[in-house]
Amino acid sequence: MAKKKTIDPKDDLKNQPVPEGEHLLVVDNLKMYFHTQDGVVKAVDGVSYTLDRGETLGVVGESGSGKSVTQLTIMGLIDMPPGKIEGGDVRYRGHSLLEMSEAEMQQIRGNDIAMIFQDPMTSLNPVYTIGRQLGEGLRLHRGYTKEQALKRSIELLEMVGIPNAEQRVKDYPHEFSGGMRQRVMIAMALACDPDILIADEPTTALDVTIQAQIIELMQEMQKKNGNAIIMITHDLGVVADVADRILVMYAGAPVEFGTAEEIFYHPMHPYTWGLTRSIPDPVIDEKHPLTPIKGNPPSLVNVPKGCAFSPRCPYATDKCRTEKPGTYTDANGHYSRCHYSSDPEFVRKNAPENSRTRAHAAAKAAAAATQPAAPTTPVTEGGEA
């Protein structure tokens, strides 16, 4: 695709107004395929969502459902080839990111849209100090001197709860524990006060206490700066009490998108129902045992004909196995890709009992209310994964 210049790289896009009728970020029917020796991997096959300022979007789905590739495509970080954008658009404040040159994307990355990558160890360069890596974005995007960048790096480390920051800024990544490296990644992503923070499974490798602290830290930043957050996770429970809206993905495509309230209280898609029933919740497990979804996600080279979920769906019919479902969108923009989502009787009969989802939300709220606020400083090496 010919790259055409759309903005002056010196312009800070995040300071420009969002055009009227536009969202902060619009992902519109995005398709990213990988052309491999084994065939075409349809990693992202028609993903659409919108994101507004101050909002948190949860992106949920099993391993291999295309969650990371979707966000890496937005960041312009997929190698092409083997990747190829097969269609769709990504607009940030009205500007198409897919049409920008690499030089323009370098201005956007880290400055307007920043990402906390899934694996903090491979994302940090082992041969540079933490301070140098933290300061890099500030020097590039903000024109900081070496001294200014070092001073700000120490502040950022303190902000994310790294004790003795003045000393630790000189350390190398291997001298930090897993949880601390994750905090460094967050500090790095927040360094230039990005408009959009993409957090790819930021808590998977961490224990529950540290998970809560990391999530709280991101929320504190959001409250202060009004930035939008995209939180990627395979666990619907993780985004239950932080996401405003939730995108559920299966086999490279969205199957349901709605507000957290809609996804938890009025889910329309059988895959979302399966994820909901898979949330471990001791409060209600006795009456409603955990019911994992049977089988495995399909190969993205050979996605089943018809509905991709049909081999695992307990409600699949012949129609499901042969015809691709369209998108059913209700009056509020809550959408689902299932042949039967528009049938209220089907949804009423088969969706998880409201009591279960309600109990889940209530249990979360009660737990949050009784827990003292998780400290964000300082964190010790011993308490982390």
Ligand X SMILES: Nc1ncnc2c1ncn2[C@@H]1O[C@H](COP(=O)(O)OP(=O)(O)OP(=O)(O)O)[C@@H](O)[C@H]1O
Q: Which is nearer to ligand SF4, 314 or 378 (CB)?
A: 314
d(CA 123, CA 125): 6
Contacts with ligand SF4 by CB under 6 A lie at 270, 307, 309-310, 313, 315-316, 320, 325, 338-340
Judged by CB under 6 A, which stretch of 46-54, 57-65, 107-115, 272-280 contacts ligand X?
57-65
Bond preceding residue 82 cis, omega within 30 of 0: yes
Q: Which is nearer to ligand SF4, 204 or 342 (CB)?
A: 342
Please give the full DSSP string across 146-185, using - where no structure is assigned. Answer: HHHHHHHHHHHHHHTT-TTHHHHTTS-GGGS-HHHHHHHH
d(CA 316, CA 294): 13
The entry of ligand SF4, ligand X, Mg ion, none that residue 307 binds, CB within 5 to 8 Å by partner kind: ligand SF4
Q: Which of 14, 58, 61, 68 binds Mg ion (CB under 5 A)?
A: 68
- Count of residues of this chain found to bind Mg ion when the rule CB under 5 A is applied: 1
Q: Which is nearer to Mg ion, 250 or 328 (CB)?
A: 250
Cβ(240)–Cβ(324) under 8 Å? no
Select from 88, 79, 109 the least CA-distant residue to 44.
88
The entry of ligand SF4, Mg ion, ligand X, none that residue 339 binds, CB within 5 to 8 Å by partner kind: ligand SF4
Cα separations (Å) of 323 from 2, 81, 255, 345, 347?
35, 31, 15, 21, 20
The entry of ligand X, Mg ion, ligand SF4, none that residue 187 binds, CB within 5 to 8 Å by partner kind: none
Both tokens assigned to 192: 């230039």
Q: Which is nearer to ligand SF4, 134 or 253 (CB)?
A: 253
Q: How far is the CB of 206 from Mg ion (least distance, A)?
A: 16
271 binds ligand X (CB under 6 A): no
Beta strands in 118-262 (DSSP E): 196-200, 228-233, 245-250, 253-259
Chain contacts with Mg ion (rule: CB under 5 A): 68
**What is the binding site for ligand X (CB under 6 A)?**
34, 36, 41, 43, 61, 63-69, 82, 118, 234, 300
